[in-house]
Amino acid sequence: MLVLSLLAGAAQEMTAALQVNPHDLDGVADAIAAAATMPLARRRERWQVMMEHLLRHDIHALAPRLPARAGVGLKRAGRAYSPCQ
């Protein structure tokens, strides 16, 4: 079971993780205890949700969108700028 800081960028993606405020030590301890005592079937279910999301949103899914986003709002010599030019 993944215990993840709410402040981590991955928190928005890994919603099945046990998310904690890292400044709340009691909350972190409670989340670790919950993870340690969570039934195996529930841990597997949450893990599966996270893995399915990661497999759908890996670098291969992201890469085709990067060039289009990189040039948004940038201009060079009166034309749209792409860092790949």
pLDDT per residue rounded down to tens, the chain (85 residues): 899 999 998 898 899 999 999 999 999 999 999 999 999 999 999 999 999 998 888 887 777 777 665 655 545 445 554 555 4
Specify the pLDDT at position 58: 80
Cβ neighbours of 64 (radius 10 Å): 8
34, containing H or E segment: helix 25-37
Specify the pLDDT at position 57: 82
Tokens 């860092």 sit on residue: 83
Specify the pLDDT at position 80: 53
Specify the pLDDT at position 85: 47
